[in-house]
Amino acid sequence: MASKATVSPNVDLAKARQHTRRERWQSFRRVMTQNKAAMAGAIIIAAYFLIMLVAPVLAPYDPFEISLEDKLTPPSADHWMGTDDKGRDILSRILYGSRLSIGVGVASVAFGAFFGIILGLIAGYYGKWVDTIVSRLLDVMLAFPGILLALAIISALGPGLVNVTIAVGVFSIPLFARIVRGSTMEVKQLEYIDAIRTLGANDFTIIVKHIFPNVLSPIIVQGSMRLATAILSAAGLSFLGLGAQPPSPEWGAMLANGRDFLFSAPYMAIFPGMMISVLVLGFNLFGDGLRDALDPKLKK
């Protein structure tokens, strides 16, 4: 009985739970803007998207124009990043290539997220045998080491950037599906979902309007991290000659081309790789920051 004297219960805790969505957004913004690394990541990403948009304006030369008398010139005032074995301006190619390299990454993650989220929502919401089937399917997809699933898909569909997008996208599906499935199972058990159901909402409304918004933040974190890997994988496949084909200025393909001139013209390999690295770094920085900001477990 005496334990009643345990002095007043913690009121703040109850208040903390009543965070409205807007407060959450504000606190999220505060954490993100205070996190210098995340800001740096955001700036890098923004810069790349800008490059992507205005590439034609920025590019000093035609990225495809061959001029053999200018071939393999080292970086100079005329050609900031030098020229390649066909005399094409590397800077111009890199600027144009941003559209391909970033585009493939974004598209493949969108592809993977779309199917992954649907699978995850369905498995998490319906549970039972539906969940069993979906989970086994995901297990199988995850049983392929690294980019081997993507290789298998490309071997069937044939090389090319579109197929690389699909292949890398398929590889993302299980990652999204797992996260969404877990979060859905948690959210599903909340009382208010029951309440809504008794009010007569159908499964579709519940999933789309009530469960999906609640599982959004882990999806966003995963998406940002996944973009980094997707861009790496897609560039890797093009590097192997399975994605973008010459004369495409895709960065991975440029890198593969540069490999053959590593002795005489290392800048051919250095610049495209640097572009990929910095972009991926940006996504990783941003993803780390997002995770810290959105994952309440990690908050101090």
Partner 1 sequence: MEPEVVLQVKNLKTYFTTSKGTAKAVDGVDFTLHKGETLGIVGESGCGKSMTSLSLLRLIPSPPGKIVDGEILLNNKDIVTMKEDELRKVRGNQISMIFQEPMTSLNPIIPVGEQIAETVRLHQRLSRKAAWQKAVDLLELVGLPSPEKRAKQEPFQLSGGMRQRVMIAMALACTPEVLIADEPTTALDVTIQAQILELMKDLQKQIGMSIIFITHDLGVVSEVCDQVAVMYAGQVVEHRSARDLFNSPLHPYTQGLLASLPKIHENQEELQTIEGAVPSPYDYPAGCRFADRCQHARAICRAEAPVLEAVGGTESKVRCFMYTEKWETAAEEEEVLCP
Partner 2 sequence: MFLFIVKRLVQIVPVILGVTLVVFLIMQMVPGDPAAILAGEGASQETIEQYREDLGLNRPVLQQYVSYVGNVFQGDLGNSLKNKQPVLDEIMLRLPITMELAFYSILITIVLGLGAGIISAVKPYSIRDVSVMVIALLGISLPSFWLGLLLMYVFSVKLHWLPVAGWDGPLNIILPAVTLGLGGAAIVARMTRSSMLDVIGQDYIRTARAKGLKEHFVIYKHALRNALIPVITVVGLQFGSLLGGTVLIESVFAINGLGRMIVDAIRTRDLPMVQGGVLVASLVFVFVNLLVDVLYRAVNKRIDLN
**8 counts as binding partner 1 under rule CB under 8 A:** yes
Residue with Cβ nearer partner 2 (56 or 246):
246
CB of 111 to partner 2, least distance (A): 17
- Where does this chain bind partner 2 (CB under 8 A)? 136-137, 139-140, 143-149, 151-159, 228, 232, 235-236, 239-242, 252, 255, 258-259, 262-263, 266, 269-270, 272-273, 276-278, 280-281, 284-285, 288
Q: Give min distance, CB of 32 to partner 1, in A.
A: 14
As a whole number of angstroms, the distance between CA 10 and CA 8 comes to 7
Site string for partner 1, 25-54 (x = CB under 8 A): ---------x--------------------
Choose the contact partner of 1 out of partner 2, partner 1, none; CB within 5 to 8 A by kind.
Answer: partner 1
Nearer to partner 2 by Cβ, of 133 and 208: the residue is: 133
Residues 123 and 181 sit within 8 Å (Cβ to Cβ) = yes
> Which of residues 206 and 240 has its CB atom nearest to partner 2 in the complex?
240
- Which of partner 2, partner 1, none lies near 155, with the C-beta cut-off 5 to 8 A by kind? partner 2
6 binds partner 1 (CB under 8 A): yes
**CB of 217 vs partner 2, minimal distance in Å:** 19
Tell me which of partner 1, partner 2, none is bound by residue 149, counting a contact when its beta carbon lies within the kind-specific cut-off of 5 to 8 angstroms: partner 2
Q: Which is nearer to partner 2, 70 or 226 (CB)?
A: 226
**Residues at the site binding partner 1, with contacts judged by CB under 8 A:** 1-8, 10-11, 34, 300
